[in-house]
């Protein structure tokens, strides 16, 4: 038979007072004795409800500028004593310690204070001591005490109070205890990460309370969950629920188009770009991006760094695609794109992605800094006799940005700021080049005078030899091979310009 415990007394200590009136009135209706502290006590009393101060229990006022309010044996004894332990029961009777059956806490807003750019001292004062201690104590004694660790659990509390008429069972208390340790561990992680900005202690700690259950993972037989807050990244304006694969492609798409200053469109399939173009107008950028590989573009993810206008939307609407993301949409453009009810339309918000990247591996996690290096003209060290002209420099930079965002081994062929062919995820660089050439040929894109970018150095001269045979006249690569001179010699003999960046862009 399920055992129920009546809630006779409650301690409420919260920073934010929203919905506390609703809870306090419900507790009063159920005959629960309420204790509280500082501003929470004043708030409850202002509602015309009876409430006792913690100070009346401890005979100590709030001291040290509010740093010490609830840290007292008469408070923690009432929370931690085990109701079925004769010794505990005797001691609380001896020291006249009243029991607390319910503890409600809302911690100082440490994370939002950090995010606001407050001064260090203000941030330190937002490290909650009493509140976090109350949470841990009540959660430890979940067999006897209900702990509500944040306002996120208010609905569940009110539901329990209504359904069980002021009682709780062990399942309820265990659930709230688990939520409590979730809240407390997250809070401590946030504090550690703030301090570790300066100390650099090698420890992997991440905590994300917000989550979204996805339809499934990479495949229908896999479960999928996104931990984070997508509303900070985009607003969904139309379409079905976003999938695991959508999110993975979306991350790749945003990372790529954000590298460009001029109007640019990119088409992404399985995190790799199959079409990219930069033009003076967005419509032209879209048309030439699509021309790069109209077959692979089918069902793809589209991304641009400009507001989508009506003319461009009409062109885009001719293609079946899964998702589009842009900084904005003209009213008529949005209506055109909404003509397909399942089509996912997202509006990108200004955001800086975190500096660290990590993923699970073997029985642990690997972490690295995000690849934020983007080479410009000043980073091109020309190592051949032939120098690149202005258009070639523009195309080399364009191609090098794209190849940075492709799976290794990767090769990009481009001309006039248009992706003509890409080979990526190949086991050899020569295979990647051959695939790129084949793609350009499939769609009759002229490689005469085009440029080639490689994500890593050429171990042999075979790649530049093959590229020369199809009309490539300029090459950009990191350099660093023991056989660099072989590639340089071939380029010099055949009038090809080649530049080294000194930076490899592997991506796995």
16 annotated active-site: no
**8 Å CB contact between 77 and 54:** no
* Rounded-to-integer distance, Cα 219 and Cα 244, Å: 9
Segment holding 129, helix H or strand E:
none
Helices within 338-389 (DSSP H only)? none
**8 Å CB contact between 301 and 321:** yes
Residue of 26, 28, 74, 270 marked active site = 270
How many other CB atoms are there within 10 angstroms of residue 379's CB atom?
A: 16
* Rounded-to-integer distance, Cα 147 and Cα 158, Å: 13
**8 Å CB contact between 109 and 139:** no
Helices within 317-405 (DSSP H only)? 331-337, 390-404
> DSSP E strands: which ranges in 313-372?
323-326, 344-348, 356-361, 364-369
* Rounded-to-integer distance, Cα 77 and Cα 242, Å: 49
Q: What are phi and psi of 28, to 5 degrees?
A: -65, -40
72 annotated active-site: no
How many other CB atoms are there within 10 angstroms of residue 198's CB atom?
A: 7
* Rounded-to-integer distance, Cα 92 and Cα 77, Å: 7
* Rounded-to-integer distance, Cα 12 and Cα 52, Å: 10
**8 Å CB contact between 83 and 72:** no
How many other CB atoms are there within 10 angstroms of residue 345's CB atom?
A: 22
* Rounded-to-integer distance, Cα 88 and Cα 478, Å: 71
* Rounded-to-integer distance, Cα 295 and Cα 215, Å: 27
**8 Å CB contact between 396 and 476:** yes
3-class DSSP state of 380: coil
Long-range contacts of the stretch 94-97 (C-beta < 8 A, 24+):
97/73
Residue of 140, 164, 193, 407 marked active site = 140
| DSSP classification of residue 243 | P
**8 Å CB contact between 171 and 53:** no
**Residues with catalytic function:** 140, 270
């Amino acid at each position: 038979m399920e055992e129920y415990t009546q809630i006779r007394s409650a301690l409420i200590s919260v920073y934010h007072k929203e919905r506390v009136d609703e809870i306090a009135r419900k507790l009063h209706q159920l005959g629960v004795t309420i204790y509280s502290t500082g501003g929470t006590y004043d708030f409850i009393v202002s509602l015309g409800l009876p409430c006792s101060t913690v100070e009346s229990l401890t005979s100590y006022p709030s001291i040290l500028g509010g740093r010490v309010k609830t840290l007292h044996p008469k408070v923690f004894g009432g929370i931690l004593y085990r109701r079925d332990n004769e010794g505990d029961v005797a001691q609380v009777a001896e020291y006249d310690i009243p029991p607390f059956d319910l503890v409600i806490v809302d911690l100082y807003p440490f994370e939002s204070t950090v995010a606001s750019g407050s001064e260090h001292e203000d941030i330190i004062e937002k490290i909650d001591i009493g509140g976090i201690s109350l949470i841990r104590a009540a959660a430890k004694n979940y067999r006897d005490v209900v702990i509500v660790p944040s306002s996120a659990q208010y609905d569940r509390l009110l539901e329990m109070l209504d359904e069980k008429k002021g009682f709780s069972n062990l399942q309820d208390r265990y659930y709230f205890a688990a939520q409590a340790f979730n809240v407390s561990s997250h809070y401590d992680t946030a504090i550690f990460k703030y301090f570790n900005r300066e100390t650099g202690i090698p420890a992997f700690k991440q905590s994300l309370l917000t989550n979204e259950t996805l339809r499934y993972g990479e495949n229908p037989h896999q479960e999928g969950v996104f931990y984070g807050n997508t509303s900070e990244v985009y607003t969904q304006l139309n379409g079905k629920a976003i999938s695991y694969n959508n999110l993975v492609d979306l991350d790749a798409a945003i990372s790529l188009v954000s590298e460009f200053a001029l109007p640019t469109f990119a088409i992404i399939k399985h995190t790799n770009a199959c079409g990219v173009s930069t033009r003076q107008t967005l419509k032209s950028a879209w048309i030439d991006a699509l021309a790069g590989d109209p077959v692979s573009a089918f069902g793809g993810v589209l991304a641009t760094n400009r507001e989508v206008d009506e003319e461009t939307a009409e062109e885009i609407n001719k293609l079946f695609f899964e998702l589009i993301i842009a900084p904005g949409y003209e009213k008529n453009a949005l209506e055109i794109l909404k003509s397909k009810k399942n089509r996912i339309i997202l509006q990108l918000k200004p955001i800086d992605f975190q500096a660290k990247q990590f993923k699970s591996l073997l029985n642990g996690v690997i972490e690295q800094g995000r690849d934020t290096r983007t080479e410009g003209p000043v980073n091109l060290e020309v190592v051949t006799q032939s120098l690149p002209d202005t258009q070639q420099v523009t195309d080399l930079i364009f191609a090098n940005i794209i190849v940075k965002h492709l799976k290794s081994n990767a090769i990009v062929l481009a001309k006039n700021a248009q992706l003509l062919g890409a080979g990526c995820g190949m086991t050899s660089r020569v295979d990647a080049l051959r695939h790129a050439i084949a793609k350009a040929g499939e769609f009759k894109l002229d490689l005469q005078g085009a440029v080639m970018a490689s994500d890593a150095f050429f171990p042999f001269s075979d790649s530049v030899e093959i590229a020369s045979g199809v009309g490539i006249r300029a090459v950009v690569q990191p350099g660093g091979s023991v056989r660099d001179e072989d590639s340089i010699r071939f380029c010099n003999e055949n009038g090809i310009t080649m530049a080294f960046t000194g930076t490899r862009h592997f991506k796995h």
